[in-house]
């Protein structure tokens, strides 16, 4: 099963009050750099076959903290870039919350195309396509980290859970948090969402018989043994 570690970038000075979007030159803040270093430590024991990132600076800097010391290069993938928010980019969220479109973003995001920007449906399509291509490239034993943005992560997770995009606002992706998805031949398995703890991945060899499906291609009957 191909294992994807989805990481949101660390904090910037704009995270929270402003919709940074694709604004160039938005770097990690001091707190964000500390979060990126902590993220690297939390997954230090996990083998990574690739470290992939959105091309925006805040994601690249977070991914570089993870790649440092692993002898790995960060590969940029344009398909993991932030949603194109168009004329909403750079505006305060308090101001955007007064826009008529805001309620549609919250309740019916599949219908949203941002003014002079991208639709959320198109964003999900290209982000999921990127994940599927990396899965094929790295194979069933591949493990990789992709550093991207909150809405992109939520859209990928919604796809993995089989949720309509209109439900993706129910998913949370905090700065420097990890979401872990395993892609099996039949379906994805979401192992963690918005996790801030140390990560240990179960190896395929740890899957036993006695109620669990040892092929890794289907759900365990009875729930499975979990991990230790």
Q: How far apart are CA 35 and CA 170, in angstroms?
A: 24
Residue 5 tokens, joined: 């570690």
Decide if 80 contacts 146 (C-beta within 8 A). Answer: yes
Residue 32 tokens, joined: 């964000």
Q: Taking Cα atoms as reference points, which of 39, 45, 12 lies closest to residue 26?
A: 12
Decide if 51 contacts 43 (C-beta within 8 A). Answer: no
Would you call 82 a catalytic residue per the annotation?
Answer: yes
Helix (H) or strand (E) segment spanning residue 31? helix 30-42
Cβ within 8 Å of residue 85, ≥6 positions away: 19, 21, 22, 114, 117, 118
Q: Which of 61, 82, 118, 212 is catalytic?
A: 82
Q: How far apart are CA 58 and CA 74, in angstroms?
A: 13
Residue 210 burial (CB count, 10 A): 10
Decide if 194 contacts 181 (C-beta within 8 A). Answer: no
Decide if 156 contacts 181 (C-beta within 8 A). Answer: yes
Half-sphere exposure of 85 (CA within 13 A, CB side): 20
Active site (catalytic) residues? 9, 82
């Amino acid at each position: 099963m191909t294992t994807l570690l989805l990481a949101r970038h660390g904090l910037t000075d704009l995270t929270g009050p402003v919709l940074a979007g694709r604004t160039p030159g938005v770097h990690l803040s001091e707190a964000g750099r500390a979060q990126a270093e902590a993220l690297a430590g939390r997954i230090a024991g996990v083998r990574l076959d690739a470290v992939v990132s959105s091309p925006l600076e805040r994601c690249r800097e977070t991914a570089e903290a993870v790649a440092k010391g692993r002898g790995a290069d960060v590969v940029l993938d344009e398909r993991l870039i932030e949603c194109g928010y168009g004329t909403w980019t750079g505006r305060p969220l308090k101001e955007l919350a007064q826009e008529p479109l805001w309620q549609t973003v919250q309740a019916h995001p599949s219908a949203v195309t941002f003014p002079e920007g991208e639709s959320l449906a198109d964003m999900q399509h290209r982000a999921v396509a990127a994940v599927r291509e990396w899965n094929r490239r790295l194979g069933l034993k591949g493990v990789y980290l992709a550093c991207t943005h909150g809405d992109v992560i939520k859209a990928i997770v919604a796809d993995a859970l089989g949720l309509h995009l209109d439900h993706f606002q129910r998913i949370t992706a905090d700065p420097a948090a990890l979401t872990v998805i395993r892609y099996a031949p039949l379906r994805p398995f979401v192992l963690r969402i918005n996790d801030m703890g140390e990560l240990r991945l179960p190896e395929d060899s740890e899957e036993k018989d006695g109620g669990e499906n040892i092929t890794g291609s289907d759900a365990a009957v009875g729930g499975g043994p979990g991990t230790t």
